[in-house]
Amino acid sequence: MISSKSARNPELPANLIRAYLESTGWQPQLTHLPENSLAPKLLAKRWGAAKKFDTFISGGSVPIELIVPRDAQSTDYRQRVEDTLRTLEAFEDRSSDAIAAEILFINFDLLKSAVPNSYLSFDAIPLQAAVEHVETLQELLTSSATTEISPKAFYGRVRKAATEYSARCLFGHTYKGSFGFTVQSPLAIDQAQPTLFEAEIPFERKVVTRLVNGLESISAAQRQNNLDIALDPDNGLSANGFDVLANLIENAGGHVALEVAFSRRWQRQMEAARVESFEFSSQTVEISREVAEKLRSTYKPVLKTVIGRIINLRNTTDPSRLMQQAKSRNVIIDFEDEDLGDIKVRVTLGAADYLRAVEAHKAGQRIAVDGLLARNGLRYVMENPTQLRTL
């Protein structure tokens, strides 16, 4: 596991403590207690006022009551937080530092990346290399988000919502050991939900889960020498995502460690926080690119109306005999497809349509043509084109 050590006893906001407790199975209790109870007086004496605390009850056969501070402005707030952490340390049988770190990041899934020490110079890496590494991590999340929005084998254009999601991610602390980076993927929290763990899984969590699925599949493909394991854009990465992963590893000197630490939100209450770790090498670069190419080759022809301007015309016949000879007359149309992005489509036309295309090109007009949009190697072609018209 990639290590990361938080500051000891950080200043933890009360709302994050409450979210952590609810996500780990503690049940909030009403702070209004019966009039004849001694508890309000005792709590008021200890806390100053009954509304400055929240009460949580643990699960299990012997419930434990936990009093959590609510008012961060109170003079003893930090001490009360430390009391809470000590109680949780005994209850969970792990260090208060680890619990505090998890509370602090309860609203984030974390993507951590480490490059090997052999890549370092004087315990550092070149600034430009660090910038490129973080940008590629962001690109990896953007690619996963695009495929989450439209689960296809590959795409030509990144979706706007995917770019907006990755822009909301944060760059966290680096950490020692291997030189490490942390990217924090925010979770959209519906404050109206009374029990957070039952809320609908947010888009951001689905993006990170998809990324993990893709990383697991490429690891399995490498172990079992079976590329087909990774050909699952419905649940994992697209060709674009595997290309980005290959770039990430290659640019880090052929070795990178990735770890994804999920927030406990949207997990079963009593489960340990899910952490998935991966080690990738130069061999993974090769396999990722092979998988990407295989995914692109799965493109199936689809009926489309291609609309755009002609950017190239090619006729191999004698122009004076254009109408008599049935030779190749090709045009290249600059077409913007919703899924594939900006692509160039080659269309082979009959003589009459070719002449119309020439006139449209001379006039700077767009044309439209119907047919079967297919992929031929790295190029797109239109098969059986019909109904060419100018727009």
Tens digit of each residue's pLDDT (9 = 90 or more) over 32-74 = 444 555 555 555 555 444 457 888 888 777 788 888 888 888 8
- Closest among 165, 185, 172, 296 to 239, alpha carbons compared: 296
Give yes or no for a contact between 316 and 291, defined as CB atoms under 8 angstroms apart. no
Mean pLDDT of 355-377: 90
Local structure of residue 229 (DSSP, 8 states): G
More confident residue, 16 or 324: 16
Distance CA 117, CA 137 (A): 19
CA angle 357–335–237, rounded 5-degree value: 155
Q: Which residues of 220-237 are buried (b: 16+ CB within 10 A; e: fewer)?
A: ebbeeeebebbbbbeebb
Measure the N-to-C terminal CA separation of the chain; round to a whole number of Å: 59
CB-neighbour burial class of residue 382 (10 A; exposed 0-12, middle 13-18, buried 19+): buried
Q: Is residue 133's pLDDT more than 70? A: yes
Task: Quote the distance between the C-alpha of residue 32 and its chain's center.
Answer: 42
What is the per-residue pLDDT for 195?
46
Residue 310, pLDDT score: 92
Whether residue 268 has pLDDT greater than 90:
no
Per-residue model confidence (pLDDT) at position 350: 84
- Section 297-325 average pLDDT: 77
- Which amino acid appears at position 360 of this protein? A
Six-digit token pair at 129? 């290399």
Q: What is the pLDDT of residues 163-210, one digit of tens each?
A: 999 999 998 876 655 677 889 999 876 544 444 444 578 899 999 999
Query: Highest mean pLDDT: which of 89-98, 132-141, 318-327?
Result: 132-141
* More confident position, 269 or 374: 374
Residue 289 pLDDT class (50, 70, 90 cuts): very high
Domains in the chain and their CATH numbers?
A: 14-104 (no CATH), 109-172+182-296 (no CATH), 302-390 (2.40.50)
Q: Which helix (H) or strand (E) holds 334?
A: strand 329-337
Residue type for 139, please?
A: E
Report whether pLDDT(322) > 80. no
CA distance 141 to 210: 10
292-312: string of b/e by CB count within 10 Å (b at 16+)? bebbbeebeeeebebbbebee
pLDDT of residue 342: 85
- pTM as predicted: 0.74
Is the pLDDT score of 272 beyond 80?
Answer: no
Tell me the two tokens of residue 327: 């030779």
Contacts of 314 (CB under 8 A, 6+ apart): 328, 329, 330, 331
Q: Rounded distance, CA 379 to CA 344, Å? A: 7
| pLDDT value at 232 more than 80 | yes
Q: Which is more confidently placed, 41 or 102?
A: 102
Given this model, what pLDDT does residue 267 score?
Answer: 66
Which tokens go with 343? 């692509």
Rounded CA gap, 30 and 38, in Å? Answer: 16
**Amino acid type, 235:** N
Which of 7-11, 50-54, 61-65, 256-260 holds the top average pLDDT?
256-260
Distance (Å, whole) CA 266 – CA 19: 11
User: Rounded to an integer, what is the distance from CA 226 to the centroid of its chain?
Assistant: 25
The mean predicted confidence, pLDDT, of the chain is: 83
Mean pLDDT throughout 115-121? Answer: 67
Query: How confident is the model at residue 234, as a pLDDT?
Result: 95
Structure confidence at residue 222 (pLDDT): 96
